[in-house]
Structure 1
Amino acid sequence: MIRLSTSLMYQQSLNSMLGTQSMVSATQGQVSSGKRISVPSDDPAGASRVVALDHAIARAGQYSANIDGATARLSVESTTLDAFNTQLDQARSLALQSIDGTLSASDRHALAAQLVQIRSQLVSLANTADANGNPLFAGTANTHQPFVLAADGTVSYAGNGAAQETVIGDGLRLANSDPGDGLFMRLPAGNGQFVVAAGPGNTGTLLVGASAVVDAAAWQAANAAGAADYSINFNGSGQWTATDAQGNALLDANGNPIGGTYTDGGSITFNGLTIQLSGTPSAGDTLEIKAGQQQDVFSAISNIIGALNNDGLSDTARTNLLNRQIESIDSAQGHLQSVQADVGSRLSRIADQKNAYADLTLTLKSTLSDVQDTDMASAISQLMLQSTALQAAQQTFAKVQGMSLFDYLK
């Protein structure tokens, strides 16, 4: 037989009310905060999922922020390269203008002065910094001015050849800029494959025009041992012969010396290359052909300036020199346009990646809401039931508390 004391009934009733009140308080908290899980004890498994989802959302957010930074740098680079190419267009135009044989020395000096300003502007563009003040074209070097213009017009590079990269995903990295040595300093000279220069001692009127590789297989076969250095020698009667760097006659496939007859406005072709020429060479005039040469774009401008300021050059020598520098500018612009296309490709790629993260974040937040957030309709209904139960328990306890044995005996 179990005997219930008055104090035990009181304690049981009180515990029941406190339990119900605790459930009401918890449900009220869910309704007011909108969160079903406030502490891990609310739902240990759900809390674990919340932590994992929060981390995934944070990672996506960090990658998106990284992409924003990379986008800003690449956009500035694209704009800068556009401006750089515009300056090169102006330099090329002035160089072409300066070939006019009717210009006076003062006219040429005035053109050279304009080119000096363009060179300074090119160096300034090459030192462009991003929104945080970090240079775009220094590679990973810790310097704020990667390109330095000396008093003699030479430009040196204080950066390195390593591209800065941005982490845009798990195991995904993307270059957010391009190092300046590959952009502006180590460019293929001439037509990009070889350079043709008129011999410094030439006395005729021979002018070197466009040059190109017209037979890649023949060119590669002839230069399989490395970069080719050739000389073309004229005898003054329209005949030319080709020699190697040691002065030995070049031979064709049949073992015959390579050479031929040149006529004004014609071309010379051998070993897969061709050179357009005009004018008349004197006996002993030469052309020097060198493959694999490099030149920085600033030197091309400086060489044009030097040619325009050198009043001792003949018109033929000056024109040949200017033609070669124009050729180098063309090669540099082609290279920069290729880089710009690559920058555009990178911008497109990270834009797609940013959109993917936006979609992923939306999905993760939706899943997090399903796990963590309160189902308002269910919670409010539950709160009403719990509140009713608590009110009933409180009323019952109040009646029982006020009763005694004498109340039952009446």
Structure 2
Amino acid sequence: MRLSTSWMYQQSLTTMLNQQSALAATQNQVTTGVRINVASDDPAGAGQVVSLSHVIAANTQYSNNIDSANTRLNTEASTLTSVNSVLDSARTLALQAINGTLSDSDRKSIASQLGQIRDQLVQLANTTDSNGNALFAGTSTTRAPFQVGTNGVVSYVGNDDSQHASVGSGLQVVTGDAGSGLFMNVPAGNGSFATGVGSANTGTLVVGANSVTDLAAWNSTKAASGGGYTITFGTGGSWTAADANGNPVLDSSGNPVGGTYQDGGSISFNGMSIAMSGTPAAGDTVSVTNGGQQDIFTTLSNMISSLQSGTTDTQLANQMSRQIESIDQTQSTISATQVAIGGRLNTLTQQQGAYQDLNVTYQSALTDVAGADPYTAISNLSLQSAALQASQQVFAQVKQMSLFNYLK
């Protein structure tokens, strides 16, 4: 085999270039602490790095979603607390207004305060989150879901859907409740039925608290009532009840229900109880209607109208009592939502803690796969540096080997 000078040069140069490349890679490992910089460094390990990196990136995004969801839910919880406080003030004013010693100017003053409360409630219902999105618009993009018309009527222009955030694989958490369920679709009365006095009543009868006392009896008879009942009073407080078709209401024995009402007592039949006060006149009536809804803004408007209309003390007491029931139903809905928000926040806290633990585990695994052993890397760096120096010295000697040098 013939060894030429150019071949020896090329071999020496190739050896030095390879050693320089290996030395540079080792220097990079020592500097960065990373063993796999390109897939060719360790094809199998590189695949693991890609998989772990994807998992860590997904967990980081879920953690960011949790942070955003926490902020939004805490804002909603704070807003609902303010709403409850405002409704407490409205309820207190309604109870004050029933006081028979108030003058017309006093009632108008209360009406003015209720008007301010209604405006404040609209403002709270239009609260936005940190990104400027309405809290209670559902999934709608409108910034003001509650609009006040020229007639003072408040309408809802959002939708009934709830906003969600993805906080895990297949796990979503509600981050926003639609305002329709919180403020608009409020069950009337006690949630099961609503009561009212006849507009032609002449006595001093006031309908107070009412409730379902026997759910089974109520459920089995409400459909047969045709939508409600009418209680009619006779002389001496005697009363009878008829369904919506005018047919007498019968007890379990087939006899018409009825009895004698006494001031401060109650009337009970078909699983419901209605407390009353005052003295009814003959011919006075009380109506019972099933279901129905009333938004809280209409409730406040009704209270204002009643205070400004100059009605009698008895009429005002009945009207305000019905609106207080609506306030109570709204606050009950809000309280239930606050409990639900607390549960969601607890879920987010637990999920965030899980991601923090998993992130530590995955980062450790990534370091094990892609990280360089500092002791090995430094040792290799020393050996490769010595080998390169040796190659360079050999090359310096080889390049001097030529025919001309021999002839000299």
The answer, yes or no, to whether TM exceeds 0.5 is yes
What is the letter of the counterpart of residue 271 of structure 2? Answer: G
Does residue 344 (structure 1) correspond to residue 321 (structure 2)? The answer is no
Structure 2 CA distance, aligned partners of 1:406 and 1:296? Answer: 108
Partner of 1:396: 394
Structure-to-structure mapping, 1:135-150, within 5 angstroms: 135-150=134-149
Compared CA separation, residues 102 and 234, structure 1 to 2 (3 A)? same
Partner of 2:99: 100
Compared CA separation, residues 58 and 225, structure 1 to 2 (3 A)? farther
Partner of 1:240: 239
Aligned with residue 331 of structure 1, among 329, 332, 340: 329
Alpha carbons 2:230, 2:243 under 8 Å: kept: yes
Does residue 365 (structure 1) correspond to residue 363 (structure 2)? The answer is yes
Q: Once the 2 structures are TM-superposed, how far is the Cα of residue 175 of structure 1 from its aligned partner?
A: 1.4
Q: Once the 2 structures are TM-superposed, how far is the Cα of residue 406 of structure 1 from its aligned partner?
A: 11
Structure 2 CA distance, aligned partners of 1:397 and 1:130? Answer: 71
Structure 2 CA distance, aligned partners of 1:225 and 1:162? Answer: 34
Structure-to-structure mapping, 1:212-227, within 5 angstroms: 212-224=211-223
Q: Once the 2 structures are TM-superposed, how far is the Cα of residue 405 of structure 1 from its aligned partner?
A: 8.4
- Which moves more between the two structures, 114-123 or 330-339? 330-339
Does residue 192 (structure 1) correspond to residue 198 (structure 2)? The answer is no
Partner of 2:275: 276
Partner of 2:255: 256
Q: Once the 2 structures are TM-superposed, how far is the Cα of residue 393 of structure 1 from its aligned partner?
A: 2.5
Q: Once the 2 structures are TM-superposed, how far is the Cα of residue 73 of structure 1 from its aligned partner?
A: 1.2
Partner of 1:265: 264
Structure 1 CA distance, aligned partners of 2:104 and 2:231? Answer: 32
Structure-to-structure mapping, 1:291-306, within 5 angstroms: 291-306=290-305
Determine helix, strand or coil for the equivalent of 1:135: coil
Structure 1 CA distance, aligned partners of 2:364 and 2:406? Answer: 60
Does residue 153 (structure 1) correspond to residue 152 (structure 2)? The answer is yes
CA-to-aligned-CA distance 1:21-44 (integer Å, 9 cap, x gap): 221122112222322112212122
Structure-to-structure mapping, 1:305-324, within 5 angstroms: 305-311=304-310, 313-324=311-322
Partner of 1:69: 68
TM-score, normalising length: structure 1: 0.95
Compared CA separation, residues 225 and 389, structure 1 to 2 (3 A)? farther
CA-to-aligned-CA distance 1:300-341 (integer Å, 9 cap, x gap): 111111111011x11111101111111111121111111111
What is the letter of the counterpart of residue 253 of structure 2? Answer: N
What is the letter of the counterpart of residue 316 of structure 1? Answer: T
**Residues matched between the structures, number:** 408
Determine helix, strand or coil for the equivalent of 2:138: coil
Compared CA separation, residues 42 and 246, structure 1 to 2 (3 A)? same
Q: Once the 2 structures are TM-superposed, how far is the Cα of residue 16 of structure 1 from its aligned partner?
A: 2.6
Structure 1 CA distance, aligned partners of 2:312 and 2:52? Answer: 76
CA-to-aligned-CA distance 1:183-228 (integer Å, 9 cap, x gap): 1000111111111111111000111111011111111111245874
Q: Once the 2 structures are TM-superposed, how far is the Cα of residue 400 of structure 1 from its aligned partner?
A: 4.3
Alpha carbons 1:119, 1:298 under 8 Å: kept: yes
Determine helix, strand or coil for the equivalent of 1:134: coil
Structure 1 CA distance, aligned partners of 2:400 and 2:150? Answer: 105
Q: Once the 2 structures are TM-superposed, how far is the Cα of residue 68 of structure 1 from its aligned partner?
A: 1.5
Structure 1 CA distance, aligned partners of 2:134 and 2:404? Answer: 95
Could you list the runs of 5+ residues in structure 2 that have no partner in the other structure? none
Does residue 79 (structure 1) correspond to residue 78 (structure 2)? The answer is yes
Partner of 1:49: 48
Q: Once the 2 structures are TM-superposed, how far is the Cα of residue 4 of structure 1 from its aligned partner?
A: 3.9
TM-score, normalising length: structure 2: 0.95
What is the letter of the counterpart of residue 129 of structure 1? Answer: T
What is the letter of the counterpart of residue 155 of structure 1? Answer: V
Partner of 1:205: 204
Alpha carbons 2:79, 2:127 under 8 Å: kept: yes
What is the letter of the counterpart of residue 368 of structure 2? Answer: D
Partner of 2:118: 119
Partner of 1:35: 34
Q: Once the 2 structures are TM-superposed, how far is the Cα of residue 46 of structure 1 from its aligned partner?
A: 1.6
Compared CA separation, residues 247 and 33, structure 1 to 2 (3 A)? same
What is the letter of the counterpart of residue 91 of structure 2? Answer: R
Structure 2 CA distance, aligned partners of 1:225 and 1:184? Answer: 31
What is the letter of the counterpart of residue 349 of structure 2? Answer: A
Partner of 1:109: 108
Determine helix, strand or coil for the equivalent of 1:24: helix
Could you list the runs of 5+ residues in structure 1 that have no partner in the other structure? none
CA-to-aligned-CA distance 1:340-392 (integer Å, 9 cap, x gap): 11011111111211221222222222211222222211101111011112222
Alpha carbons 1:227, 1:291 under 8 Å: kept: no
Structure 1 CA distance, aligned partners of 2:220 and 2:293? Answer: 22
Structure 1 CA distance, aligned partners of 2:123 and 2:247? Answer: 47
